[in-house]
Amino acid sequence: MTKSNSADSRKARAQLTALRVVVYIVLIFLSILCLFSFYMLIINATRSNGQLQAGFTLVPGGHMLENLKNAWTDSSINIPRGLLNSFLVASLTAILTTYFSALTAYGIHAYDFKLKKAAFTFIMAIMVIPSQVSAAGFVQICYKFGLTNNYLVLILPGIAAPIVFFYMKQYMESVLPMEIVEAARVDGSNEFRTFNTIILPMLKPALAVQLIFSFVQSWNNYFLPSLLLTKAEMKTVPIMIAQLRSADYSKFDMGKVYMFILLAILPVMVVYIILSKSIIKGATAGAVKG
């Protein structure tokens, strides 16, 4: 019986090891697949327009500094200003969206009132409506009241984010016991102080995730900015990239376009790396406390 159990145990370990090897191979393959496009972006950013037109290659072209200079000094666009504009809009949008979505989720989660279910259902209904459906009316209102070339019309509507609200609401249900809220109320803490000093630190991992998603979504937003921003000095990165790609053939430089796309991705990567550390740190702290 002992020998049989030992053999079964060795067989089970061998099967587990084989399964683990297969999983690792699949994960490595998917990682390479995901990183390949980014690698090709870096490679293409080092090649000249003529080299890019000649065909595909995995070897760097040696024109990285030239492409950087051509993109940075392009007379038709102002890359430093575009990066600053996009960072301003994306940062404020991400912060306001995450904060007010968490605040709304806290209100729905922590309070019992007559129309609570109706309010939750209404927010969920808005979530399934594509933003393009309401865009035409929103753009008309902005032009009617002279709100074009104003970053507020890009930042403030982002506060109403049903998807972020739903994520925060579900996260609160799993990590936020109402006993903590009740204890704070007994100690005399008002509701905003309770939310800002007690609840928000508990939501740190979720807040970091939504900050990343909201920042990237706002950074890559082309639709509304292209309709509402007409002044050159106020245009964001996606609009400038579209301008470079739509240049006439005599001025078209694909190497410069790839370099600009690379420059546009770098701030997103920096934000992701910084907030990813916050996610890991917050999750570990929560596990230790638990």
Model pLDDT, residue 248:
59
pLDDT tens digits, 182-235:
888 888 888 888 888 888 888 888 888 888 888 988 998 888 888 888 888 899
Model pLDDT, residue 98:
92
- pLDDT band (50, 70, 90) for residue 289: very low
Q: Are residues 12 and 139 in the same domain?
A: no
Model pLDDT, residue 170:
86
Say if residue 75's pLDDT is above 90: no
Residue 271's CATH number: 1.10.3720.10
Q: Are residues 128 and 169 in the same domain?
A: yes
> Is residue 75 one of the residues assigned to a domain?
yes
User: What's the domain range around 41?
Assistant: 2-45
Q: Are residues 119 and 261 in the same domain?
A: yes
- pLDDT band (50, 70, 90) for residue 89: very high
Model pLDDT, residue 93:
93
pLDDT tens digits, 96-111:
999 999 999 988 888 8
Report the mean per-residue pLDDT for the chain.
83
Please give, one letter per residue, the 3-state secondary structure of the chain: CHHHHHHHHHHHHHHHHHHHHHHHHHHHHHHHHHHHHHHHHHHHHCCCHHHHHHCCCCCCCCCHHHHHHHHHCCCCCCHHHHHHHHHHHHHHHHHHHHHHHHHHHHHHHHCCCCCHHHHHHHHHHHHCCCHHHHHHHHHHHHHHCCCCCCCHHHHHHHHCCHHHHHHHHHHHHHHCCHHHHHHHHHCCCCHHHHHHHHHHHHCHHHHHHHHHHHHHHHHCCCHHHHHHCCCHHHCCHHHHHHHHHCCCHHHCCHHHHHHHHHHHHHHHHHHHHHHHHHHHHHHHHHHHHC
Say if residue 29's pLDDT is above 60: yes
Q: Are residues 135 and 192 in the same domain?
A: yes
